[in-house]
Structure 1
Amino acid sequence: MTPSIFLVGPMGAGKSTSGRLLARTLGLTFIDSDKVIEERTGASIPLIFELEGEAGFRARERAVIDDLTREAGIVLATGGGAILAPENREVLRSRGKVVYLHASVDHQMERTAHDRNRPLLQTPDRRGKLEELMKIREPLYRETAHLVVETDGLAPKTVVQRIIRGLRLDGRS
């Protein structure tokens, strides 16, 4: 049986896009933790940040990740900051295979250029913010991951092939 696979990484690394394709390829269920938070609260991520601040959002995120990581046979795309909580790093690492999709700040800038649904990027200096986030989060992504896959310039299909090969999974369609 294929273990659950948990994707971590920065905004714009392709966690949702590659995650959907990976789940389809392996016959698993794809779940996006941010979408589940929105469904359960009935509010968008930006609205949750506005009303509850980042701390309120992170508390909701911890509960959802604890819940979702208990499910078998899933591919879970986590939010970029999910690894900030030690509890999240622990449950992700112990309940499945964690894949860090690494993307350079340049790649993140490209992928998030027109996205208004990312509260932490609603700042005049988006590059500076992405660099600051990577400085804090990069070591945590690497500490948590069983596998690191570089995504810059790669098609989602190639990223998925590298994940399957890296985790030595059966890639039957």
Structure 2
Amino acid sequence: MGASTQARVKPQPSMDRYEPLRHRTIALVGLMGVGKSSVGRRLASTLGLPFRDADSEVEAAAGRSISEIFADLGEPTFRDGERRVIARLLDGPPHVMATGGGAFMNEETRALIKARAVSVWLKADLEVLARRVGRKDTRPLLTGKDPMEVLKAQAEARYPAYSEADVTVETGDAAHHITVGQVIEALSAHLGEPAE
């Protein structure tokens, strides 16, 4: 009876094919609205890694929202806290991390990510991003401004830094699960492992 019971048990899906992707933290960078948090959560789940959202971690450390930090303390204070939080996260075990849109602009943060993680630039057309971020009014950098104009200025300022990421994934307007597949394929190619 024991043998026949065993024969009927289906084997659990193996995570072995993702093993090479689980040895270093994967840091997602890119402009607001590109899906770093949403894609990051799905990617972490697929790879069997923890997920960390740097913005949420900053809010938890500060005991206030990012909007409040910007309004009460200013962007430089937020960026300093962001840098310290990301450094702390990078000291931990491998995980998938969504960074804030401006985090990779900080030279020290960029160097830390390069040393302790593999970075992925999620890139999408500005028109797609403007449509996405225009749906919410929770982003302090957009308060009272035209999203497209803000995004154009950010792209001009930030793309040179983002281009230093280890991997670039052009997401288009794809569903998040498709982007996750693209990220896994790009990371596998970058790390010299076949994607399945």
Same fold per superposition (TM over 0.5): yes
Answer whether contact 2:167 2:186 (CA < 8 A) is retained: yes
Q: CA deviation at 1:130?
A: 1.0
Tell me, in whole angstroms, the C-alpha distance in 1 between the residues paired with 2:147 and 2:37. Answer: 21
Read off the aligned partner of 2:112 and give its amino acid letter. V
Identify unmatched segments of 5+ residues in structure 2.
Answer: 1-18
Aligned to 1:55: 76
Q: CA deviation at 1:167?
A: 1.1
Answer whether contact 2:124 2:173 (CA < 8 A) is retained: no
Q: Which moved more, 1:20-29 or 1:66-75?
A: 66-75
Aligned to 2:98: 77
Tell me, in whole angstroms, the C-alpha distance in 2 between the residues paired with 1:71 and 1:141. Answer: 23
Aligned to 1:157: 177
For residue 140 of structure 2, the aligned residue among 94, 98, 119 is: 119
Larger Rg: 2
Identify unmatched segments of 5+ residues in structure 1.
Answer: none
User: Any residues of structure 2 matched to 1:9-158 within 5 Å, and which?
Assistant: 9-143=30-164, 145-158=165-178
Number of positions where the alignment pairs a residue of Structure 1 with one of Structure 2: 171
Alignment TM-score, normalising by the size of structure 1: 0.94
Read off the aligned partner of 2:172 and give its amino acid letter. D
Read off the aligned partner of 2:87 and give its amino acid letter. D
Answer whether contact 2:49 2:95 (CA < 8 A) is retained: yes
Q: CA deviation at 1:151?
A: 1.4
Alignment TM-score, normalising by the size of structure 2: 0.83
Answer whether contact 1:26 1:171 (CA < 8 A) is retained: no
Which deviations, in whole Å up to 9, do the C-alpha atoms of 1:128-168 show, x marking residues without a partner?
1110011000110011x111001121111111111111111
Aligned to 1:7: 28
Q: Which moved more, 1:42-51 or 1:106-115?
A: 106-115
Aligned to 2:6: none
Answer whether contact 1:8 1:141 (CA < 8 A) is retained: yes
Tell me, in whole angstroms, the C-alpha distance in 2 between the residues paired with 1:97 and 1:131. Answer: 26
